[in-house]
Amino acid sequence: MPFARARVRVIDLETAGTAPTDVCEIGWQDVVQGEDGRWSLDAGRDAMFINPGRPISAATMAIHHILDAAVAGAPFWKDAAPPVLRPEGGVTALAAHRAAFEQRFCTPALSGAAQWICTWKCALRLWPHLESFSNQMLRYQRMPQGLDHATGLPAHRAFPDAYVTAHHLRDMLNEASLDQLIAWSREPGLLPRVPRGPNRGLSWEALALADLQALAADRDLDVRFSALTELRRRGELDAPSATAPPQPTLL
């Protein structure tokens, strides 16, 4: 029987706005598991323009530099998305950096209710010592093996960004299991340090109990989850009642 390779498709979107059909470009890069259990990038990669059905704003053009003329003859999102998100042969999961953004547009109806990996959340878990966790900062802090510099440019375009993210994902999958990455991605982000305020930059372990309890009531879901996790580690909360609110489903 031929070996059936697990495949995760890394997705990156550029958009004209925040409405569900405002996608103006999608790029993708596949990461596959070999017979030896190791993960690598493969030839499944491409990008395509999408017609958002309305003019692209100057604010978003200033980020990705995609012009209205480039997308005028492109397919609409509802037609273009399913073949990319549900390719022939299927995918084990979809992935993106800060995947909550992509999930706003890649709805379960379009993706076939695919599981998702958020490489931002997984980077927080696997590489907490790093200074920053943006896609491009991870690129230059870690310098992933095999990442061709020119292929990963320009930034803020769909395929180059997916290509860079795929290198992070490959390294993550070679450190932790697929199921573990999916599980981490379902939870809020576990921040390694306090992101703002008078305790900015301190580890959660270094905080006084009163400061930690205050942050456990923060409006930011990731801050709240991180503070609750530390309180639970200290035995200050009972596990069942300290569960952080579930990550909202973005449709």
Structure confidence by residue, pLDDT tens digits, 38-92: 999 999 999 999 999 999 999 999 999 999 999 999 999 999 999 999 999 999 9
The structure tokens listed for 251 are 């449709």
Lowest mean pLDDT among 17-21, 35-39, 112-116, 159-163: 17-21
Rounded CA-CA distance 26/42 in Å is 18
With CA atoms as reference, report the closest residue to 221 among 202, 206, 240, 243. Answer: 243
Query: 112 in the Ramachandran plot: left (φ > 0), alpha (ψ -120 to 50) or beta?
Result: left
Q: Flag whether pLDDT at 172 surpasses 70.
A: yes
- Which band of pLDDT confidence, cut at 50, 70 and 90, is reported for residue 241? very low
Give the up-direction half-sphere exposure of residue 67: CA atoms within 13 A in the CB hemisphere.
Answer: 2
Q: Categorize the per-residue pLDDT at 2 as very low, low, confident or very high, splitting at 50, 70 and 90.
A: very low
* Rounded Cα distance, 124 and 183, in Å: 13
pLDDT band for 4, please (50, 70, 90 cuts).
low
pLDDT band at 238 (very low <50, low <70, confident <90, very high): confident
Q: What's the pLDDT at 237?
A: 86
Beta bridge partners of 45: 29
State residue 247's pLDDT score: 52
The pair of structure tokens assigned to 7 is 């495949």
Domains and CATH numbers, the chain: 7-186 (3.30.420.10), 188-246 (no CATH)
Compute the average pLDDT of residues 88-98.
97
Q: What DSSP string describes the chain?
A: ------EEEEEEEEESSSSTT-EEEEEEEEEEE-TTS-EEEEEEEEEEE-B-SSPPPHHHHHHH---HHHHTTSPBHHHHHHHHHS-TT--SEEEETTHHHHHHHS-HHHHTS--EEEHHHHHHHH-TTSS--SHHHHHHHH--TT--TTTT-STTSHHHHHHHHHHHHHHHHTTS-HHHHHHHHHSPP--SB--SSTTTT-BGGGS-HHHHHHHTT-SSHHHHHHHHHHHHHTT-S-TTTTPPPPPPP--
Task: Quote the pLDDT of residue 1.
Answer: 41
Would you place residue 242 in the very low, low, confident or very high pLDDT band (cuts 50, 70, 90)?
A: very low
Asked if residues 229 and 204 have their Cβ atoms less than 8 Å apart, the reply is yes
- pLDDT class of 250 with cuts at 50, 70, 90: very low
What pLDDT score does 239 carry?
54
Is 244's pLDDT higher than 90? no
Assigned token pair, 81: 């998305």
- CA–CA dist 110, 43 (Å, integer): 23
**Per-residue pLDDT tens for 117-156?**
999 999 999 999 999 999 999 999 999 999 999 999 999 9
Work out the mean pLDDT of the chain and round it to a whole number. 94
Predicted local distance difference test score (pLDDT) of residue 5: 81
Going by pLDDT thresholds of 50, 70 and 90, the confidence category of residue 169 is: very high
Q: Which pLDDT value is given to residue 243?
A: 46
Q: Residue 210 corresponds to which tokens in the numbers above?
A: 């009163």
For 171-190, the three-class secondary structure string (H helix, E strand, C coil) is HHHCCCCHHHHHHHHHCCCC
